[in-house]
Chains A and B, each alone.
Chain A
Amino acid sequence: MSYLELLKLAAPETIVVLTALVVLTIDLTSMRGLDTRLRFVIGGMLTCAGCAAAIAWMLVMPAHANALQGMLVVDPLTQLVKIAVLALTIFTVLISIESNFTTHVGEYLALILLATVGMMFLVSAEDILMIFVSLELISLSLYVLAAFNKRYIKSAEAALKYFLFGGMSAAFMLFGLSLLYGLSGSTNLGQIATALAGKELDPLLIVAIVMTVIGFGFKVAAVPFHLWAPDTYQGAPTPSAAFIASGSKVASFFIFAKVMLLGFAGAEGSGAFHAYAAGWVPVIAIVAGLSMILGNVVAIVQSSVKRLLAYSAIAHAGYMLLAVLSHDQQAVASLIYYAVTYGLTTIGAFGVVAVVESGAGDDKLSSFAGLSRRAPVVSLCMMIFMLSLAGIPPLAGFFGKFYVFTEAIKSGAPNLGLLWLVILAIAMSAVSLYYYLQVLKQIYVADATKGTNTQPFLVPWVTQITLAILALGVVLLGCFPGWLVGLIEHAITSSAL
C-alpha cells in the first residue's frame, strides 16, 4: 500500500491534525494582542470548520479498507462513529467559546483537536498496539484539558487525580494486552481470536481479560474504577468535563465493545441467572451492576451539579456496559445509539452548568434556584436534558435505554438469562429520576434564594443556539430514533463486524 493511499484513508484524521496546528499557530502568532473572547470565537470557528471538513470528507468519500492489518480500518461503521465523535467535538467547542477560564485559547483548542484525533484513530483500530497508542493520545490530552483552569486549585487536583488513576490503569491495560500478545502471538484482534479459539479458559487468559477490563473500565468510569470521575468532573473546566464525558466515552465504548467482541470471541461465558459460566460476560455484568447501583445511589446526595453529572455518568456507563455484554451486532447498534445520544445530552447539560457558573459563580444545586425565570430557554433545554438522562419518553435517552435493555434480554433468550440485570437497570433508572428531578425542582419550583441577584441571565446567543440545537436533537432523536438506528444498522451490516 502506497503512502498516498494511506494518506487518503487517513485524510479525516490528517485534516483534524492540520486544523490543530493551524489554530495553534494563528493563535500564537497573530492573535496575541486580541481580546480573549475574540480569540475564542475565531479559534473556535476554525476548529469547527476543520471538524466539519473532516466530516464532509467522510461523507463525500466513503471508503472501505483495512490498512496494515488492522492498524487503520476504514469502513462505514468506523466512519459513522468518527462522524459522531467529530460532531460531539464541534458541540464541545461551541459551548467553550464563551468561557473565560483560560487565556491560552490556541493550546486549549489544539488539545481538544488532538484528543479528537486520538479518538478517531482509536475507533479505526483493530490492533492492540494501535489501540493503546490512541488511548494514550486521548488520555494525555484530556489530562491537560482537565488542568486548564490555572486559577482554580481544584482543577489541578482534578487533573492530578485523573492522571494518576489513568496512568495506573494504562499500566494494567498494557499488561493485559501484553499477555494477550503472548498467548496468541499477534496484535491483531481477529488473529488473537483465532489463536485463542477452542482453548480452555486458562489462568493467563483470565488475567488478560481482567486487566483489559480494568483498563477500559477506567476510561468509561465504571465501578470500581470510577474514583477519578467525580473529582475530575467537578474540578475540570466545564467544557473539558463535557468533552471527557461525551466524545471520549463514545470512542472508548466503541473500542471496548470491539475488543471484547472481536478479540475475546469465544471466551464470552455467560452471565445468565442460574446458568453462570466463566468468561468475560460475567465480569462485565458485575461491573455493570455495580456501576448502576453506586452511580445512581451516590448521585442522590450530591449538591454540586457537576458531581451529580459525574455519578450519573457512572450509572450510564453501567447501562452501556449492558450493551457490551449482549455481544451481538444489534447490541453494538444499541450501544452506539446510546453512547451518541448520551454524549449529546451530556454536552448540553454541561453547557447549562457553564451558563449557571458564569452567572451565579458556582455549580451548586442552590445556584440553579429560580433559573426558569432568569433564563427560560436554557431552563427548558436543561429540562429536556435531565428528563432524557432519566429515560423519559419520547426523548432520546428513553429510546437508548429501551433499545439496550431489549437487546440485553434478547441475548439471553429464550430463557431470559440477563433479565436480572435488566430489572436492576430499570429499577435503578427509576431511582435516578429522583436526583434529576432535584435539579429540575431547583430550576422550576424553587425561588431564587434571598440576597442573590435575581436579574435575568445574559446568555450569549451562541450558547443559547447551541443548547437549543442539542435539545432539539435529543427530542428528535427520541421521537424518530428510526433514522439513526437505521444508519447504524446499515453501517454495521455493510462493515461485517
Chain B
Amino acid sequence: MLAWTIYISFLGVLVLMLLPQGNASAARKIAMLSAVAGLLVALAGFIQAAPEIKLGKIVTVANADWIHSLGIRYDLAADGISLTLVLLTGLAAVAGILFSWNIEHRAKEFFAFYLALIGGVYGVFLSFDLLLLFMFYEIAIVPKYFIIAIWGSTRKEYGAMKLALYSFVGSAMVLVGLIAAYVVSGAHTFNVLELAKYPFPRDFQMWAFPLVFVGFAILAGMWPFHTWAPTGHVAAPTAASMLLAGVVMKLGAYGCLRVAMTLFPEGLEAWKTWVAVLAVIGIVYGAMVALVQKDFKFVIGYSSVSHMGFVLLGLVTLNTIGLSGAVLQMFSHGIIAGLLFAVVGRMVYDRTHTRELSVLAGMNLVKAMPFAAVTFVIAGCASMGLPGFSGFVAELQVLIGAWKAFPTLAVITGIGIVIGVAYTLRAMQKAFFGEAEAQPSEDHDEYHELAPISVPERFGAVMLIGVSLLIGLYPRLLLDVIVPSFNSPLFEWLKKGGAQ
C-alpha cells in the first residue's frame, strides 16, 4: 500500500510531461491531485501498518528480485521511523503545492520536478535495500538543482550548484562506503537487515562509519558542512525551501540513522562524541549566526541548521528517548520550518519583493498582512519550542537523552535554545512589528497594493499549524510507532553498546 506513494508521485510526473506547454492551471491541479493522493495513501498506510509496528515489527511493503546477479532487491518496508517520515513527506508535499499556487512561469516543468523530488523522498524513506535507498536518494537530489536554478531568486545558480555539488560529494562518500560494505561482508546482498547482522571488522568500521555518516550528514546540514543550506534555502523558491528544510535535510539524518549507525555500531561508538560535539556546535553556531542576519530568509535558513543539530545530537545519544526525540524532531522541524519558509518566501517576499529586515521594519506588515503576522508568531513560538507545539516535545526528549549521554554538551545546548528564542523574537519584531516610519506617500501606495493572502495559503498555514499543535498536544500519535521501532531487530546494536 505505502509503495503507492512513490508510484503516484512518478505517475504525476509522467502525466505532467505529457501535458501541453503553458497550461499552468491544469499543471498545478494535477500536481495537487497527486500530492493529496500521496498524503492519503501515506495516512492510510500509517493506520494500516501501525498495529504491527507497535509490536516492534517491520512491515514489508514490496519485495521483488531486481538485479539478481548482484543480489539487489526491490525491497520496500517500513518501521515507525519510516512511517513518520513518509507522513511528513506527504504533508510537506501538499503544503508546498499550496504555497506555490501562484507559479505561472513554466509551471508544468516546475511541478514535474517537484513531484519527481517527492517520489524520490518517499522512496528513500521506504527502502530497506541500501542500493535502492541510494538510488532514490540521488533521484531526490537532481530535481532540486533545477527547481532552484530555474525558479529561484537571490544568486540562484550559485546556490543551486553549491547544493548539487555538496549533495553529490556526500553521496559519493556514501557510495564508497556502501560498495565497500557489500564486498567486505561478502553477503551478496544490500538488505539492511542482513548487512546489519554482519560484524564488520573494527578497522573497517573506524573509517567506514565517518565516511558514510558524514556523507549523509552533509545533507542534514551538519556543521561544518552546512554552508550549502542557508544559500540553498535563500535561493530556492518557496516550495523548494519548504521541501529542502522540510524533508530533504531529513533524508540526510535518516540516512545517518538507517545506514551509517545501523551498519557500523562500533564505529559509531568510537566517533559518537565527535558527532555530538559537531551537532552542538551546529546548534549554537546556527542560532548565533541567525541572530545577526539582515535577510529574513537567511534567519530561517540558519535556524534550520540549528534545529537539525538537535536531530544529530539526538541520534548519537544512543538511548531510546534521545533517538525517538530525534525522529520526532525531524517531523516537527519539517512542519515548522515549512511554515516559516512559507511565511517568509510566499506571504512576505512575493508581495513586498524584499527580505531585508530593515526595509520590512518600515512597512508595518502587521497591519498590512495580519494573517501573515499571526502565522509567523505562531510558527515562531513553535520554532522556539513553546510547550503545546511539536518542537517542545521533540527538543525536550533530545535534551533528556543528551543529558544522560553527554551532560556537558546538554548544558551548552541550553545556550543554543536561549539564542533561538532571541533570534526568532528579533526577526518577528523587525519583520512584522517594526515602527512605521513617517513614510513617503509612494511607499504608502505600495503598502495598499499588497495582495491579500490567498485561500490556498490560508489553508496551508492552518494545516501545518494544526499538525504541529496536534503532535505537540498528543505526541503519542507518533511516539507510539517510533519508540517500538527501536526494539526491532535493526536496533540490536542499541541494546549492546548504546545504553549509556
Binding site for B on A (CB under 8 A): 372, 376, 380, 387, 392-394, 398-399, 402-403, 405-406, 409-410, 413-414, 416, 419, 422-423, 426-427, 429-430, 433-434, 437, 440-441, 444-445, 481-482, 485-486, 489
The CB with the most chain B CB atoms within 10 A, among A403, A430, A489, is that of A430
Are B172 and A416 within 8 A (Cβ)? Answer: no
Are A416 and B184 within 8 A (Cβ)? Answer: yes
Q: A409-B180, A426-B176 are in contact. List 12 more A-B contacts (CB 8 A).
A: A380-B17, A393-B134, A405-B179, A416-B180, A426-B172, A433-B164, A433-B165, A434-B165, A441-B149, A444-B150, A445-B150, A445-B157
From 327 to 383 in chain B, residues with beta carbon under 8 angstroms from any chain A beta carbon are none
By a CB distance below 8 angstroms, the chain B residues around A392 are: 138-139, 142
Are A393 and B138 within 8 A (Cβ)? Answer: yes
Partner of A394 from B21, B135, B179 at Cβ < 8 Å: B135
Contact indicator per residue, chain B 169-193, by CB within 8 Å of chain A (1) or not (0): 1011001100110111010000000
Q: Does B274 contact A (CB under 8 A)?
A: no
Are B176 and A422 within 8 A (Cβ)? Answer: yes
Partner of A486 from B68, B165, B172 at Cβ < 8 Å: B68
Are B168 and A433 within 8 A (Cβ)? Answer: yes
Q: A440 to B160, alpha carbons, bound, how many Å?
A: 13
Q: A419 to B175, alpha carbons, bound, how many Å?
A: 12
Q: A366 to B141, alpha carbons, bound, how many Å?
A: 25
Q: A463 to B131, alpha carbons, bound, how many Å?
A: 35
Q: A422 to B138, alpha carbons, bound, how many Å?
A: 19
Question: How big is the B interface, by class?
Answer: 35 or more
Are A485 and B67 within 8 A (Cβ)? Answer: yes
By a CB distance below 8 angstroms, the chain B residues around A444 are: 109, 146, 149-150
Q: A230 to B146, alpha carbons, bound, how many Å?
A: 29
24 A-B residue pairs with Cβ-Cβ distance under 8 Å, sorted by A, are A372-B109, A376-B21, A392-B139, A392-B142, A398-B135, A402-B179, A406-B70, A406-B182, A414-B184, A419-B180, A426-B176, A433-B164, A433-B168, A434-B161, A434-B165, A437-B161, A444-B109, A482-B65, A482-B67, A482-B69, A485-B69, A485-B70, A486-B69, A489-B69
Q: A392 to B6, alpha carbons, bound, how many Å?
A: 18
Q: Does B66 contact A (CB under 8 A)?
A: yes
From 42 to 62 in chain B, residues with beta carbon under 8 angstroms from any chain A beta carbon are none
By a CB distance below 8 angstroms, the chain B residues around A434 are: 161, 165
Q: Does B145 contact A (CB under 8 A)?
A: yes
Residue of B nearest to A483 (CB): B67
By a CB distance below 8 angstroms, the chain A residues around B149 are: 441, 444-445
CB distance from A177 to the nearest CB of B (A): 35
Are B142 and A387 within 8 A (Cβ)? Answer: yes
Q: A387 to B145, alpha carbons, bound, how many Å?
A: 12
Q: A380 to B18, alpha carbons, bound, how many Å?
A: 12
By a CB distance below 8 angstroms, the chain A residues around B180 are: 409, 416, 419
Partner of B179 from A387, A409, A414, A485 at Cβ < 8 Å: A409
Beyond A441-B157, A481-B67, whether A423 also contacts B176 by CB under 8 A is yes
CB distance from B400 to the nearest CB of A (A): 39
Are B150 and A410 within 8 A (Cβ)? Answer: no
Q: A398 to B142, alpha carbons, bound, how many Å?
A: 14
By a CB distance below 8 angstroms, the chain B residues around A376 are: 21
CB distance from B442 to the nearest CB of A (A): 31
From 97 to 141 in chain B, residues with beta carbon under 8 angstroms from any chain A beta carbon are 109, 131, 134-135, 138-139
Beyond A409-B180, A423-B176, A445-B149, whether A393 also contacts B135 by CB under 8 A is yes
Partner of B183 from A398, A403, A416, A430 at Cβ < 8 Å: A416
By a CB distance below 8 angstroms, the chain B residues around A437 are: 145, 161, 164
CB distance from A419 to the nearest CB of B (A): 7
Are A427 and B165 within 8 A (Cβ)? Answer: no
The CB with the most chain A CB atoms within 10 A, among B150, B161, B180, B183, is that of B183
Are B179 and A427 within 8 A (Cβ)? Answer: no
Residue of B nearest to A401 (CB): B175
CB distance from A475 to the nearest CB of B (A): 12
Partner of A430 from B67, B139, B161, B169 at Cβ < 8 Å: B169
Q: A433 to B171, alpha carbons, bound, how many Å?
A: 12
By a CB distance below 8 angstroms, the chain B residues around A423 are: 176
CB distance from A382 to the nearest CB of B (A): 13
CB distance from B23 to the nearest CB of A (A): 14
Q: A392 to B179, alpha carbons, bound, how many Å?
A: 16
Are B168 and A394 within 8 A (Cβ)? Answer: no
By a CB distance below 8 angstroms, the chain B residues around A380 are: 17
CB distance from A456 to the nearest CB of B (A): 10
By a CB distance below 8 angstroms, the chain B residues around A410 are: 183
Q: A392 to B168, alpha carbons, bound, how many Å?
A: 10
